[in-house]
Chain A
Amino acid sequence: MPQELSLDRDAVATVVKKVVVAESRLSLPPDRVRDDEPLVGDLLNVNSLGFVGMLVRIEDELDVTLPDDLFVGRSFRTVRDLIDVVTAAEVQR
């Protein structure tokens, strides 16, 4: 039976930054990425399909299943936007 739980924001932030750094093909430590860093900007370069592909890696890293509507009708500008959405989601493990 799947168990519903909420996620710790710091844990989510660590994973999200690790994944956006990998997606942008950078080699810097994830903690160097600021929360307000644009997803498409001077440092990070995440395209929309790369972005949705990150979902699976975030799920794997956190060992959770994110809800069906997480990416419906949303727009994301910064790393914080993504951290906030994942943290607020009712996930299952």
Chain B
Amino acid sequence: MTNAVPTRWRSVLPHLSEPLPPDRTPPRSGAGSGEIKINIPTELIRHSVSSREYWDIPAPVVERYRQYRPTPLWRARGFEEAVGARVPVYVKNEGVNISGSHKLNTALAQAYYYQKAGVKELVTGTGAGQWGTAMAAACALFGLRCRVFMVESSLRRKPYRGVLMRMLGAEVHASPSGMTKVSATENPAAGNSLSLAIGEAVEYAAEHDQVAFCIGSGETYSILHQSVIGLEAQEQLAELDAGIGTVVGCVGAGSNFGGIALPFHATARAAGEPGPRLVAAESSSTPKLTRGVYAYDKTDATGSGPMEAMYTIGSDYRIPDAHTAGLRFHGAAKLISAMRHSGDVDAMAVSQADALDAGRLLARHESVLPAPESGHALAAAARIAASPEATGGVLVCVSGHGYLDLGAYEHFLAGGLEDQSPPDEALARAVAGLIRVETRP
């Protein structure tokens, strides 16, 4: 199997069916300053908006990638048999680094660019803790301070996430923390969410010098950095002479899904050929791609940034508590949303119980313990592979490991898991005030 680590990222932007809708300025609240505050390295801006397809990965980032890449890809014959698959299932495991997930792929790149631009501290919000751990590790490697706001219910369930981040030098706050205005105005009793943790990080960064907010999933540059997953998978599958009919990843905002799937789309578009079906597996308790609307919505609880075009269940919707904190985000990335809207991305909603059962099967038959989030992708892959209509192999991304999620599996094995799909009327109320993205003729 190849030992090659990608030295370039590949952007899908030149291959979109339609351009990304421009963002909208949020409604002005009272006496706005009229100032535009910017705190992002120029290269990350280029990654987000340029139509360039290939981007050289900086040598210090490639050097760090070599410590854990290429990540394993194999045909999961035991899993195939367990789920009654009619076609081969290939698993790409991104859980084999200190952060335990794909998040390190962009955390390293972001820490490198922010450090080069003179920032001293990065602050972020995290749900499951994988992104916070990745950022803590990347900051440690590139000499930056790190501060993480982690969803309180998730930190309570997974205290060792907090320990690991602190070991890596990060300062960790349970969100709602009470130390920011946005956490004081939100109603903690109504439930915690990733958008609030992110909102706290945004506010903290805005009020401190030489501190920048960074984010790990929905940004277009994050998805570009994750293209190493799909680029590597293409090489590995070619060595196995394996044909792929479907690519599956779980979606919180969409970075591991974009990372594994979009290089396949770019390759197909560049060759003028039909590509594999791209399937985004989401939580049925956060069903933005299957039951949401395509509208302009906030990316965090502060609402201070631009409103982005996204499939959303409404940023004000109170997402039920669940073990899959990484998927508890109200909207999909604008890049993934645009591709869903253009018909280039399919979506499938998966319950927690089905996700954890798929995780159990992977552990038992392939000796790999996936994160509950990744279990959603595995459950979707199993459904597709077992379908009578299945054609070609199924490639599925295991975005992270589940060693810090054994509490969720314990709950599952005890039969105590209940899913809370949002009622239609609650979703309708949550999106009622959002401006819909105009459909082009």
Residues of A within 8 A of B (CB): 38-41, 45-53, 55-56, 66-77
Contacts and interface: CB of A to CB of B under 8 A. Distances in A.
What is the size category of the interface that chain B forms with chain A? 20 to 34
B185 interface: no
Given A53-B49, A68-B42, A69-B118, A74 B37 contact: yes
B36 A39 contact: yes
B305 A48 contact: yes
A86 B36 CA distance: 16
Given A51-B36, A74-B37, 12 more contacts: A47-B24, A48-B305, A49-B305, A51-B38, A52-B45, A52-B49, A56-B49, A70-B42, A71-B41, A73-B39, A73-B210, A76-B35
Interface in B99-127: 113-114, 116-119
A39 to B, nearest CB: 6
Contacts of A77: 33-36
A38 B28 CA distance: 15
Contact of A56 (B39, B46, B305): B46
Nearest to A89: B42
B25 interface: yes
B387 interface: no
B40 interface: yes
A45 B37 CA distance: 14
Cβ-closest 8 pairs across A and B: A47-B25, A69-B117, A71-B38, A72-B117, A49-B23, A75-B37, A53-B49, A52-B45
Nearest to B46: A56
Nearest to B115: A68
B22 A50 contact: yes
B184 to A, nearest CB: 24
A61 to B, nearest CB: 14
Which of A38, A53, A70, A72 has the most B CB atoms < 10 Å from its CB? A72
Nearest to A59: B46
25 contacts: A39-B36, A45-B25, A47-B24, A47-B25, A48-B37, A49-B306, A51-B36, A55-B42, A55-B46, A56-B49, A56-B50, A67-B42, A69-B41, A69-B42, A69-B116, A69-B118, A71-B45, A72-B38, A72-B114, A73-B118, A73-B209, A76-B36, A76-B37, A77-B33, A77-B34
A75 B36 contact: yes
B212 interface: yes
B235 interface: no
Interface in B192-229: 209-210, 212
